[in-house]
Structures are given as structure tokens and as C-alpha cells.
A and B are shown apart, each in its own frame.
Chain A
Amino acid sequence: QSALTQPASVSGSPGQSITLSCTGTSSDVGNYNYVSWYQHHPGKAPKLMIHDVSNRPSGVSDRFSGSKSGNTASLTISGLQAEDEADYYCSSYTSSSIWVFGGGTKLTVL
């Protein structure tokens, strides 16, 4: 069981918007704005998509956005494209001075 809870799978059609959730506790997501999201295509290195809840690194499409409410962080992908099909992981810093991750969400573009 992962420290952060993510839905196992989400699907959407090209052009749609989808939102992935990441639920933690008051000891991690709820207490720190240090939530990041990573995109992982199997066999490749995971790629940073969002950091500090809602900040997008240079080079990442503005179709990706992040937010947080209470103990739940969210990643929204708008204008879904085939290349967005991948696994997505969230992570958070914790009050135990370690980092925790979610179990990952497999995004399928129909």
C-alpha cells in the first residue's frame, strides 16, 4: 500500500480534459506545498511535470496544471493527446523528513 492514494486508472478521449487525484494526509500533502507530479512511459526515465503543487518546469506543456485542496492534490491535463498516455505519479515531502509517492495512475487515451 502506497503512502499517497491515486486511482489505478483513468481514461479520456483526445481533446478532453481529465483530472488525476492524489490523496495524502495532514502529515504530507495537507501540510506542505511540496507536491510534484511525474509522467512515466514504461522503459523510460520518469519526467517531472509539476512541482510545488502548481509550478510547471520550462519545456512542459501548459496543458498540464496542478492544484491542491486540503489533503488532496490534483493534476489536470487539458486537450488530451495520444502522447499523454502514460503512468502518472505524485509525490510529497512529509513531516518525517522523507518523501512519499503514490501508487500511480495509468492514463489511457481512447
Chain B
Amino acid sequence: QVQLQESGPGLVKPSQTLSLACAVSGASISSGNYYWTWIRQPAGKGLEWIGRISTSGSTNYNPSLKSRVTISVDTSRNQFALQLTSVTAADTAVYYCARYMIASRTFDPWGQGTLVTVSS
């Protein structure tokens, strides 16, 4: 059974960089027809797709965040990471990692999510 678990600081200061990791268990992050994905949900708002990285390392980002986002993979730890630079209060959200299954075009499974608050 594949499981994902987000980790990282729950509080980030404005203008700094938000860094999160997603540990994958039950599957190898470097194989299979998958994309590894980050999604977020600001309080009281809907979900927003942030971006994804393929098993070959190619990335695709939401144009609204593209200039500030980097998604990377650490195969030695079987995890992938999100970096979001120059954060503001608008980046306060619950951040989810998820596996995107190319064959079925679905996000499955998801992590439980981690709340990141941007505040001084």
C-alpha cells in the first residue's frame, strides 16, 4: 500500500522560502508511470494544483506560481520536495502531496496534508 507523508516547518516568515518534503512508502519514487505532485488549499478556499515532477525529473508548474516554485526528487530518500520562494500571507495553506497516476489521470493516494502559516 502506497502512503505519502508531508513534513516541514509549520511557520514561515514573509519573504522567506517555504520548504516541504513528501516521504513515499510502498513504492519507488523513481519508477512507474507516475507524476509526484503538490497541491494546496488556503483556508476557506478550494484546492490549487502547484506542480509535478515525473520519474524522469521533468517538471510542470502552475503558471500562477511558476516563478517561485521548484519541485525536486531525492531518490536516495524516496521522497520529493517543494520549495516556494518569497512567500506572503497568501501562501498560508494546507499543503498536500499526491501521486498522479498517468494511466487513470488521477491523484491517488494523497498525504494527510500539512498546514503552513506565513507570518512574522
Asked if A and B are interacting partners, one says yes
If A34-B105, A52-B104, A98-B60 touch, does A104 touch B110 (CB 8 Å cutoff)?
Answer: no
Chain B residue at minimum C-beta to C-beta distance from A6:
B46
Which of A3, A6, A45, A48 has most B Cβ within 10 Å? A45
Tell me the total A-B contact number using a CB cutoff of 8 A: 66
Q: Check if B62 is an interface residue, CB within 8 A of chain A.
A: yes
- The answer to whether A52 touches B49, judged by C-beta atoms less than 8 angstroms apart, is no
Contact status A103-B46, CB under 8 Å: yes
B106 interfacial by beta-carbon distance below 8 Å:
yes
Instruction: Tell me the chain B residues, 51-100 only, with Cβ under 8 Å from chain A.
Output: 60, 62-63, 96, 98
Interface range, A side: 20 to 34
Main secondary structure of the interface of B (DSSP, over half): strand
When the two chains form their complex, are residues B46 and A2 in contact, meaning their CB atoms are under 8 A apart? yes
**Complex formed: what's the CA distance from A1 to B44 in Å?**
11
List, in ascending order, chain A residues with CB within 8 A of B105's CB: 34, 36, 51-52, 93
Neighbouring B residues of A51 by C-beta, 8 Å: 104-106
Interface assignment of B109: CB less than 8 Å from any CB of chain A:
yes
Q: In the assembled complex, which residues on chain A have CB atoms less than 8 Å from the CB atom of B108? A: 48, 57
B112 to A99, Cβ gap below 8 A?
no
Q: For B14, list chain A residues within 8 Å (CB).
A: none
- On chain A, the residues within 8 Å of B98 by CB distance are 46
Across the interface, do B47 and A45 meet the contact criterion of CB distance under 8 Å?
no
- Please indicate the chain B residues that have their CB under 8 angstroms from the CB of A91 in the complex: 47, 49, 107
A98 to B49, CA, bound (A): 8
Tell me the complex Cα distance, A3–B109, Å. 22
The 8 closest A-B pairs by CB, nearest first: A2-B46, A103-B46, A101-B47, A48-B108, A51-B106, A45-B110, A99-B49, A34-B105
